[in-house]
Amino acid sequence: PNRGSWSLANAQEGCLRAASGDSLEVSGGPPPPEETPAPMSAAAAEEEVGRSLESYRREVEILRKSLRHRDGKEAEMAAAQKKLKEEHNKTKQDYEAQLASLLCDLQDMERQNRQLESALRAVAAGSGESSTIAHSTSFATSLSEAPTPEPCISHLLR
């Protein structure tokens, strides 16, 4: 490194040497004079400003492109999330309808089971064959004339 120029790189190198225990050259005299850059001509200054401006414009364009890409990804994710939510709601409604139907079927089976148990008790309590035939006939008639099932409770699931 050039001993006459004091830059960030030189300062960092000095810090690294000091941290590693390398000896720093210390002169007994005053610090070296700072080198001032030679004055730039107006054309050179304009050229430097132009390069800086172009660099800035490229960075801005890169950032804008990155933002457009991110916005596109977010829109895709939002659409996918919306679709999943709609599918979930449809599946939930189908499940609830199926559950309501199963509950109605269960109520019908419980009603039919009560009728069968009642008929079985009547048959067991009856005496003789003629009594059994009469009860069997009345049981068949009671099944064909069974009352409508209890109202379904599907409205409670909503």
- Mean pLDDT within 16-37: 56
Structure confidence at residue 1 as a pLDDT band (50, 70, 90): very low
pLDDT of residue 24: 47
| Chain centre to alpha carbon of residue 106 | 38
Comparison of pLDDT for 4 and 14, the residue scoring more = 14
Identity of the amino acid at 104: C
pLDDT in tens, 67-126: 999 999 999 999 999 999 999 999 999 999 999 999 999 999 999 999 999 999 999 888
User: pTM, whole model, 2 decimals?
Assistant: 0.42
Comparison of pLDDT for 78 and 153, the residue scoring more = 78
Distances (CA, A) of 2 to 9, 12, 14, 35, 152: 11, 14, 13, 11, 93
Structure confidence at residue 143 as a pLDDT band (50, 70, 90): low
